[in-house]
Structures are given as structure tokens and as C-alpha cells.
């Protein structure tokens, strides 16, 4: 329903952040998140950071899949 | 997203997922992926091929473009041809409006080709900037989207209000997901065993937002992200709940979704908008399922400002988008699917949006049975 | 109420472009159905002498200069690459320029110098040209149109209808660089990325491929507008075969992937200007791959898939998960989306 990408905040000026998505750089407003700082991962949608992510979490898709695959008990 | 995992590991994970489901699914189970981005991801990753025959995944009403009514779309196109600058997300450009004489339906893309000033933006803030750059023109932003998008639009409105941008307004066609899910669960002929809940809407509204659905309708819910492993985790959660005869909200996207969601985003959204009745394609009018401007921000309401009339218009002839959006039929059951309705000549919105269930089925679902075999 | 008009989708190189050809252009210009829709047409030659390949192409790009290239380099590359895809060594080109009133002469000079440098690299010459000027506001700085003529170096020449079951599908590197570099340079989408266009003349690479594979190089295509998805769909349709490619063997740079995630694009549908897709008979596939890897423009070459007998006319992709899905012909204009 909504594309949002995990982005790493590299710079903040006022409420405006520069973020890395892969090797692409985007601008994102921080009006909708509390306490976002350089080094944080945020989800960016339509030019706004809509939530903060834990850095490790953003990289943990593989382990999630392993967990999904490894849980063989209902 | 991350490509850190090796291909061998991914194939192995998929194989294990398939084996586990084969063991767990011991009865017919019908799950709905509410969210169009899930539909699209499920198609793109070929996940349906991993499901046992008894497990069906139905696509739901979670594509904002698809649930926008024919009347709203026609009003947006009419606005574009009236001389204002219309700013829109790219998603809306090719959605067909209403036609009553059998000719090719109008779209924003066609209106642009015929001289309308339609600008594709990726953020509502760009509409504010465009309004500032053209103080002599009226600029209208087409506000389409669910709870994920509405806070960003509200924040852009607040920013325009702060900067006193007098020539910007918003056509607010936003829709709220939980009331639509209630309507869906209440509608006759919809028999669902579980809801795969939209990850990014949940980022805003929180996993707790589905608790009333669980309590009232006893339906298992799982909030899922959009990577293959996250979708698999969500499907497994739902199947386990169904098997155990339980119903709760599992949050399988905890890295992005907190129980309470994003209170600041919700406050921002409700500072500018208030809940209002609105009509969904396929689901009809649902109480408090849309967003209207609060009194303090009425000046930004494009509908009031430009005297826009949103008519009640019929679905395009031969279009079953409504039934598809309720999960009542599969895209393939629609007589228009493939002929004449195709992505390059869409009859209904579900074939336009790349996350529309018909477009996802067209793009990713047309495989002859002999190539469904999965190697692991 | 809506009279059919040209939209940007008709220029996207996908289904809408083909619709325009099928509905209007070909019935009027080719009533006898004599034309194959190839990158370049072959002109009959006297017995014993090689055929000539002829092509024509128009170029519009905004901005005129982008990382990795400019409209002049793009025009020469696009034209000579279309010849190369038929196994022809580019020899003579013509150019027609539509210039917009107000275009700085320095800009024109830079573009033409860039054309010159690319021509020198290829060993081709411009033998005829034309200039027209339109009023300010009626052209994006400049539009270029070029035609090219070259001698075919292999018999039978590669053609989109020659793919056969078992053929290996090769490509000379990562996909999507050109399209993303140009979009980023346009700046209105609010992202920047350190991706350079792959814009390059491919003849010398193709020459080494033909030396290694000869007539076993069945098909060559440069996946420009519409990307790899459009090129493979055209080949599958023209050869009436199925094509399967493997996601795991396709390379997409982190910059292109990030930009695609952001804008909701599929890298398979993004334009390339320095890539060649080759369908090669299995017995020569390794030799051709090695020849490609030994060439500066082919270091990232890989076998990405093969031709299959089932699913004729369709392109399938085996995902990282081992599942399969259809790769459809892209529709038309690339529009950034939020959902």
C-alpha cells in the first residue's frame, strides 16, 4: 500500500535530513519522527521519515528469513 | 532490500518455508494480504508458488489508487483541465476516469498531453515548492493514500500554513484502513481466516490498531514487512494461529512497527484532518473511513476552494474492480482481464497501479502450470 | 470526449510504443509487412559482397549533459550500437540537428566535440548533416537525429528472430545505469546517486564477440528504452521461444538498486546505453563470454539465462528464492510511485 525505504541519516539541517538509500542520496523531512539523529535508520515515504528503525534491524532480513525457515515447531 | 544473504541460503529458506506450510496447512485456509505493496511483493518474489493448494492468498483493498472512486478520479481530471497546476504522485497518472460514450477514458496523463499542467511529484512538499514558485497560479495537490501518506500531506499543509502559501490546496481523498477492514469483515460472502496487515500503514497506526478486529471478529492478524522473509514470517504466523484456533495480532515487522505506532505522525494527521465518511470503490460508503479538513485548515481544501463536484459515477462497463478489492473474486475471474483490460489499456484501476491486484496478477501470475515446479 | 493523442508512454519503448507502430506507422509505411522490427535494416547486396545495415534514431535527453555522457555521445553511440547489433561495422553517419533559439553556442560546440570524440573512437565519420532552429520554448535545447550505414561482418547476421532453445543469454555488465544517471541528473525527483551512464559505443566489443562466436551469435540487442525486460520480450516474441533469466546472475549496482527502491522502479525496465544482450549457441557460449570479459567494456559480463522450449513468447525470471515469475513487456512512461 505504501512504498517506504530504509534510509540512513547522514546529515541534519533544521528538520531536513540527507539520507542514504543504498548508494542513492535523498532528502527527507523529519517533522513526523521524534529524536532522529545522524546515524539512525528511518523509513522514508513521500519525502518524509515516517518512523525510526534500529540500525541492526534494517540489516536483519536474512536472519528473519532464517528464523521463519528454522522454526519448525508450531 | 538487503542482498547480504547468498542465493543458496535464500533458495533453502524458501524451500523450508514451503515444506513447513505443506505440513502446517491441514485444512483450506483463506488469507487476505490487505496491502497492495504486499500483493506486488508476493508476485515479484513468486511466493504463491511456495504455498500448498489449500492455502489461498487473496488481495485486498489496500491500493489507494484502486479504492479511489470513479467520481473522485473524474473530478481530479476535470480539475486538471480547468487551468490549475495539479501535482500528483505518479501512481494516479494513468488511472482511467469516467467515459459515457465508449471513447477512450480520460486520464491525467491524457489531460497533460492535451495541455493541462500536471506535475508528477514524489513528495507533497514539492507541491508547496511549486506553489511558492508560481504565486500567480493555483496549485492543487492530489492527496491520495492511507495512514502512511496522510501524515506527510498534513505536515506539508502545516508547512504551507507556516510559510503562508496562499495558492496551494489539497484534494483530500485519503482513506483509513481499519474502518475498511471492519466493513470488509462484515460484508456478506467474504470468508477470511486471517489478515496479513499492511506494514507501512501499521508503522503509523501501530500493531494495536488491529486488536479490536481480533476481539470483535476473532480474526487472526499478522503485521508483516515487505522483504521475502518478512512476508513468509507473517504467513507462517497466520497459519499457526488458524491451526491453533487462536486469534491475536502478531507483529512480524517489529523493526518498523511499534504497538502504539507513531503518535507524532498521528497527531500531525489529526491536527489538519478529522475522520469523515467516505466512499471506497468496491466497499461503498464507510463511516469515518476518510479524512476531511478541520475548520482551521479549510482554506486548503481544494474541493471547497475550486467548487469541485464529486459525482457518484458507475464503474466502467465490464470492470469488476469492486469485487476484486473485496477478495470476492480473483482478477482472473473478471471477464475483462487480459482482454481488453491490460496494463497499457486499463479498464479499471486495479490494472493500473503496479500494486493493483490485477496488474500484479498480469505481471507476475501468468505462468503455465508446468513451470510452477520449484527447485531447491 | 478524449481524442486519442500521443502521450509520453508512447515514447517509453514498451507496449505503448509497439502499439503506435502496430496501429499507425507500420500499416501505412510497410503495408506489405516486409520489415522486421530490428535495430537496423539490411539492404540487399550484390552477390559475393557483404550486406549493408542501415538505421536511424532520434535523441532527446534532459539534461543535455549527464554523468557519463551527453546528447552528442548518446546519439553517436545509439546509432552505431544499432548497426553493431546486426553485426555491422559502423562506417558513415548523417546527423540532423534541431536547435532551440537561445541555446548557447558553447553548449552546441561541447556537444559536437563529444560527437567527434565518440566517432573517432569508433572509426566512423559523419558525411552529411542538417541544422534547423526552432523558437525558444519549442525544443529542449536540442534534438538530434542520426542515420548510420555499416557493412555486415558475419553471415547470417544476428537477428531477433534467430534465438533457439538452448541458446545462452549473455550481457556485458550491470543494468539500469543510464536511466538512473539521467533521472538523477534531472534533480526534480529529489535524489542524487553516484551512478554514471554506461553510454558507450559497442562495436569493438561486438567485433570480438563475433570473432569468437561467428554465426553462433544468434541475437544481439542493446537494451535501451524499456530496459532488459523490453529487449528480452521482443526477442522471445520474434523468435517464438521462451527465455528464462536468473535474478542471482543479474548485476544491479547499489546506486541503481537504491534509486529503484526509492522510486518504485524495476531495474529490468530501466534504460541502458552501453549494454549488449547476446543469445549464443551453447557450444560457443564460453568462448564468447571469455572474449567479452577480455574487452574493457565487457569485464562484468555474465551468462544470465537461456532459451527454453516452453512458454514461447514469454520471459521468465527465476528469483533468488528459486521461484519463477513472468517478466512482462514494460508499459510505457516510468513514473515514480509511492504505492
CATH number, residue C133: 3.30.1330.10
Indicate the pLDDT class of residue B84, thresholds 50, 70 and 90.
Answer: very high
CATH of the domain at B183: 3.40.50.11750
Domain identity same for B193 and B245: yes
Helices of type H across A1-74: 55-58, 61-70
Residue range B144-181, pLDDT digits in tens: 999 999 999 999 999 999 999 999 999 999 999 999 99
Distance from CA of C122 to the nearest CA of B (A): 37
| Of the residues C125, C152, C179, the one at which a domain ends | C152
Answer yes or no: do B77 and B129 share one domain: yes
Which residues are A42's β-sheet partners?
Answer: A7, A52
Residues of A in contact with B24 (CB under 8 A): 74
Interchain pair C15, B47: CB under 8 A: no
Test C16 with B344 for CB contact under 8 angstroms.
Answer: yes
Within this chain, do residues B90 and B120 fall inside the same structural domain, yes or no? yes
**Does C177 fall in a domain?**
yes
Same domain, C118 and C257: no
Which residue, C118, C152, C186, sits at the end of a domain? C152
- The x, y and z cell numbers of residue C282, run together, are 551453447
pLDDT (mean) for B91-113: 85
- Domain count for chain B: 3
Q: Residues B137, B280: one domain?
A: yes
Looking at residue C183, its pLDDT comes to 93
Is any Cβ of chain C less than 8 angstroms from the Cβ of A35?
no
Is the pLDDT score of B300 beyond 60? Answer: yes
Window 309-348 of B: residues touching C by CB (8 A cutoff) are 342-344
| Residue B375, pLDDT score | 41
In a domain, C146, yes or no: yes
Contact C338 B37 (CB under 8 A): no
SS3 content of chain B, % helix, strand, coil (to 5): 45, 20, 40
- Give the pTM: 0.91
Per the structure, the complete domain to which residue B273 belongs is given by: 66-175+261-305
So what's the pLDDT on residue B366? 59
Residues C199 and C135 in one domain: no
First to last CA, chain C: 30
- Residue with more model confidence, C235 or B94: C235
Q: Answer yes or no: do B76 and B57 share one domain.
A: no
DSSP state of C22: I
Residue C173 domain-assigned (yes or no): yes
C331/B contact by beta carbon, under 8 A: yes
Q: Are residues C173 and C63 in the same domain?
A: no
In C, which residues are within 8 Å of B49 by CB distance? 323-324
Contact between A23 and C255 using a beta-carbon 8 Å cutoff: yes
My answer on whether B73 and B205 are in the same domain is: no
C240 and C284 share one domain: yes
Same domain, C120 and C179: no
Query: Which of A43, A20, A24 lies closest to A33, judged by CA?
Result: A43
Q: Are residues C311 and C182 in the same domain?
A: yes
Least confident of A11-20, B92-101, B359-368: B359-368
C-alpha cell belonging to residue C10: 508512447
CA distance A36 to A40: 6
Residues B220 and B290 in one domain: no
The DSSP bridge pattern shows strands C142-152 and C88-100 to be antiparallel
List chain A residues with CB under 8 Å of C193: 23-25
Considering only CB atoms, C339 lies closest to which of B37, B112, B371, namely B37
Residue B36 to residue A1, Cβ atoms within 8 A: yes
Contacting chains of C (3 CB pairs or more, <8 Å) are A, B
* Nearest chain B Cα distance for residue A19, angstroms: 15
Please identify every stretch of chain C with a pLDDT value under 70, giving residue numbers as ranges: 1-2
User: Min CA distance, B102 vs chain A (Å)?
Assistant: 31
Q: State residue C39's pLDDT score.
A: 86
C109 and C238: one domain?
A: no
DSSP string, C106-171: HHHHHHHHHHHHHHHHHT-EEEEEEEEEE-TTSSSSEEEEEEEEEEE-SSSPP-TT---TTPEEEE
Q: How many CB pairs under 8 A join A and C?
A: 50
Alpha-carbon torsion, ordered B213, B217, B218, B223, to 10 deg:
-30
Q: Does C186 touch chain B (CB under 8 A)?
A: no
In a shared domain, residues C226 and C130? no
Say if C4 falls within a structural domain: no
Same domain for C117 and C215, yes or no, is no
CB contact under 8 A, A24 and C339: no
How far is the CA of B364 from the CAs of B125, B289, B328, in angstroms?
34, 31, 20
In Å, how far from its chain's centre is CA B47?
Answer: 20
Residue C180 lies in a domain: yes
d(CA C2, CA C241) in angstroms, rounded, equals 38
Residues B164 and B97 in one domain: yes
Residues B59 and B76 reside in one and the same domain: no
Mean pLDDT of B39-56: 92
Q: Give the rounded percent of residues in chain B with a pLDDT score beyond 90.
A: 66
For residue C262, the chain A residues in CB contact (below 8 A) are 5, 21, 24, 26, 44
Residues B165 and B234 in one domain: no
B200 to A45: CB separation less than 8 angstroms, yes or no:
yes
Q: Are residues B181 and B330 in the same domain?
A: no
What is the nearest CA distance from A5 to chain C, expressed in angstroms? 6
> What helix, strand, coil percent values describe chain C, rounded to 5?
35, 25, 40
Give pLDDT, residue B7.
65
Angle between helices C203-213 and C282-293 (to 10 degrees): 140
For A3-46, write each residue's pLDDT tens digit.
Answer: 899 999 999 999 999 999 888 899 999 999 998 999 999 999 99
**What pLDDT shows up at residue C318?**
95
Extract the C-alpha cell encoding B149.
501518506
State the nearest Cα–Cα gap between C44 and chain B, in angstroms.
Answer: 37
Query: Domain A5-70 - what CATH class?
Result: mainly beta
Task: Note whether C22 contacts B: Cβ–Cβ < 8 A.
Answer: no
Cβ burial of C312 (10 Å; 0-12, 13-18, 19+) is middle
Residues C132 and C186 in one domain: no
Could you give the 3-state DSSP secondary structure of residue A30? coil
C-alpha cell recorded at residue B328: 470476492
Instruction: Label residue A72 by pLDDT band (50, 70, 90).
Output: very low
At which of C107, C124, C152 does a domain end? C152
Is the Cβ pair C321, B371 closer than 8 Å?
Answer: no
Say yes or no: C181 and C147 in one domain.
no
Number of structural domains (chain C) is 2
Q: Taking 50 as the threshold, does the pLDDT of residue B369 lie above it?
A: no
**Average model confidence (pLDDT) across chain B:** 90
Chain B within 8 Å of C187 (Cβ-Cβ)?
no
Give yes or no for residue B102 having a pLDDT over 70.
no
Eight-state DSSP code of residue C181? H
Is C6 within 8 Å of B37 when comparing Cβ atoms?
no
Asked if residue C30 belongs to a domain, the reply is no
C148 plus C52 within the same structural domain? yes
Same domain, B184 and B229: yes
The interface residues of chain B toward chain A in range 57-96, judged by CB-CB distance below 8 A, are: 62-64, 89
Of residues A43, A64, A72, nearest to B233 (C-beta): A64
* Domain annotation covers residue B27: yes
Residues 35-54 of B with CB under 8 A from C: 36-37, 43-47, 49-50
The parent domain of residue C52 ranges over: 40-152
What is the tens place of the pLDDT at every residue in A41-63? 999 999 999 999 875 554 444 45
CA distance A36 to chain B (A): 13
Chain C residues whose CB is inside 8 A of the A47 CB are: 190
* Cβ-defined contact of B122 to A47 (cutoff 8 Å): yes
List the CATH number of the domain containing B128.
Answer: 3.40.50.11740
Residues of B in contact with A32 (CB under 8 A): 151-152, 155, 262, 264-265, 268
Q: How far is A61 from chain B (nearest CA, A)?
A: 6
Q: Give CA angle at C128 (C124, C134), nearest 5°.
A: 120
Please report whether residue B170 resides in a domain: yes
Amino acid at each position: 500500500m505504501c512504498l517506504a525505504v530504509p534510509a540512513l541519516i547522514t546529515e541534519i539541517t533544521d528538520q531536513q535530513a540527507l539520507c542514504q538509500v543504498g548508494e542513492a542520496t535523498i532528502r527527507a523531512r523529519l517533522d513526523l519522527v521524534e529524536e532522529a539523529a545522524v546515524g539512525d535508520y528511518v523509513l522514508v515515504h513521500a519525502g518524509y521519515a515516517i518512523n525510526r528503525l534500529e540500525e541492526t534491524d534494517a540489516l536483519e532480513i536474512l536472519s528473519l528469513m532464517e528464523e521463519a525457515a528454522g522454526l519448525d515447531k508450531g | 532490500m538487503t542482498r547480504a544473504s547468498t542465493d543458496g541460503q535464500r533458495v533453502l529458506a524458501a524451500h523450508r518455508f514451503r515444506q513447513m506450510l505443506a505440513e502446517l496447512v491441514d485444512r483450506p485456509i483463506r488469507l487476505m494480504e490487505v496491502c497492495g505493496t504486499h500483493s506486488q511483493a508476493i508476485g515479484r518474489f513468486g511466493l504463491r508458488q511456495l504455498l500448498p493448494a489449500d492455502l489461498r492468498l487473496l488481495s485486498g483493498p489496500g491500493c489507494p489508487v484502486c479504492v479511489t472512486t470513479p467520481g473522485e478520479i473524474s473530478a481530479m481530471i476535470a480539475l486538471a483541465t480547468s487551468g490549475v497546476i495539479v501535482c500528483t504522485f505518479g501512481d494516479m497518472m494513468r488511472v482511467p476516469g469516467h467515459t459515457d460514450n465508449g471513447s477512450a477514458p480520460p486520464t491525467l496523463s491524457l489531460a497533460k498531453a492535451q495541455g493541462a499542467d500536471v506535475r508528477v511529484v514524489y513528495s507533497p512538499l514539492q507541491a508547496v515548492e511549486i506553489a511558492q514558485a508560481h504565486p500567480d497560479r493555483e496549485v492543487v495537490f492530489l492527496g491520495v493514500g492511507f495512514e502512511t501518506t496522510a501524515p506527510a500531506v498534513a505536515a506539508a499543509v502545516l508547512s504551507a500554513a507556516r510559510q503562508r502559501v496562499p495558492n496551494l490546496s489539497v484534494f483530500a481523498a485519503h482513506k483509513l484502513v481499519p474502518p475498511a477492514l471492519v466493513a470488509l469483515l462484515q460484508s456478506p460472502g467474504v470468508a477470511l481466516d486471517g489478515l496479513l496487515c499492511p506494514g507501512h500503514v501499521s508503522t503509523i497506526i501501530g500493531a494495536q490498531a488491529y486488536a479490536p478486529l481480533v476481539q470483535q471478529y476473532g480474526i487472526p492478524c499478522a503485521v508483516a514487512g515487505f522483504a521475502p522473509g518478512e512476508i513468509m514470517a507473517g504467513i507462517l504466523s497466520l497459519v499457526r494461529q488458524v491451526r491453533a484456533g487462536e486469534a491475536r495480532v502478531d507483529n512480524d515487522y517489529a523493526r518498523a512497527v511499534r504497538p502504539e505506532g507513531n503518535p507524532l505522525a498521528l497527531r500531525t494527521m489529526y491536527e489538519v484532518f478529522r475522520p469523515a465518511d467516505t466512499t471506497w470503490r468496491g466497499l461503498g460508503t464507510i463511516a469515518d473511513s476518510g479524512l476531511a479538513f478541520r475548520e482551521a485548515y479549510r482554506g486548503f481544501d481544494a474541493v471547497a476552494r475550486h467548487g469541485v463536484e464529486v459525482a457518484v459515477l458507475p464503474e466502467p462497463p465490464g470492470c469488476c474492480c469492486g469485487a476484486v478489492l473485496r477478495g470476492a473474486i480473483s482478477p482472473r475471474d473478471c471477464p475483462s482481464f487480459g482482454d481488453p483490460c491490460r496494463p497499457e489499456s486499463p479498464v479499471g484501476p486495479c490494472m493500473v497501479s503496479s500494486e493493483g491486484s490485477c496488474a500484479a496478477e498480469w505481471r507476475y501470475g501468468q505462468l503455465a502450470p508446468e513451470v510452477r515446479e520449484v527447485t531447491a | 470526449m478524449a481524442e486519442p493523442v500521443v502521450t509520453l508512454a508512447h515514447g517509453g519503448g514498451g507496449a505503448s510504443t509497439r502499439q503506435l507502430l502496430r496501429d499507425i506507422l507500420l500499416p501505412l509505411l510497410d503495408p506489405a509487412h516486409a520489415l522486421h522490427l530490428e535495430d537496423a535494416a539490411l539492404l540487399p547486396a550484390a552477390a559475393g559482397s557483404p550486406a549493408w545495415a542501415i538505421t536511424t534514431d532520434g535523441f532527446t535527453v534532459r539534461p543535455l549533459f549527464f554523468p557519463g555522457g551527453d546528447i552528442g555521445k548518446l546519439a553517436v553511440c545509439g546509432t552505431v550500437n544499432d548497426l553493431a547489433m546486426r553485426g555491422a561495422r559502423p562506417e558513415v553517419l548523417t546527423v540532423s540537428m534541431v536547435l532551440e533559439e537561445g541555446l548557447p553556442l558553447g553548449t552546441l560546440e561541447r556537444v559536437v566535440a563529444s560527437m567527434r570524440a565518440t566517432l573517432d573512437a569508433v572509426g566512423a565519420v559523419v558525411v552529411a548533416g542538417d541544422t534547423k532552429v526552432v523558437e525558444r520554448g519549442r525544443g529542449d535545447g536540442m534534438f538530434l537525429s542520426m542515420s548510420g550505414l555499416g557493412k555486415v561482418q558475419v553471415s547470417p547476421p544476428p537477428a531477433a528472430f534467430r534465438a533457439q532453445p538452448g541458446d545462452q543469454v549473455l550481457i556485458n555488465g550491470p543494468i539500469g545505469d543510464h536511466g538512473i544517471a539521467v533521472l538523477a541528473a534531472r534533480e526534480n525527483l529529489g535524489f542524487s546517486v553516484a551512478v554514471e551512464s554506461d553510454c558507450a559505443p559497442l562495436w569493438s566489443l561486438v567485433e570480438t564477440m563475433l570473432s569468437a562466436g561467428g554465426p553462433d551469435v544468434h541475437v544481439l540487442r542493446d537494451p535501451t528504452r524499456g530496459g532488459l525486460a523490453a529487449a528480452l520480450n521482443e526477442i522471445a516474441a520474434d523468435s517464438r521461444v521462451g527465455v528464462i533469466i536468473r535474478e542471482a546472475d543479474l548485476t544491479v549496482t547499489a546506486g541503481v538498486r537504491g534509486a529503484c527502491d526509492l522510486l518504485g522502479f524495476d531495474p529490468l525496465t530501466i534504460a541502458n546505453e552501453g549494454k549488449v544482450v547476446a543469445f549464443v549457441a551453447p557450444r560457443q557460449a564460453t568462448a564468447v563470454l571469455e572474449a567479452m570479459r577480455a574487452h574493457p567494456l565487457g569485464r562484468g559480463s555474465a551468462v544470465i539465462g537461456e532459451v527454453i522450449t516452453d512458454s514461447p513468447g514469454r520471459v521468465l525470471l527465476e528469483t533468488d528464492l528459486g521461484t519463477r515469475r513472468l517478466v512482462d513487456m514494460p508499459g510505457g512512461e516510468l513514473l515514480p510511485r509511492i504505492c
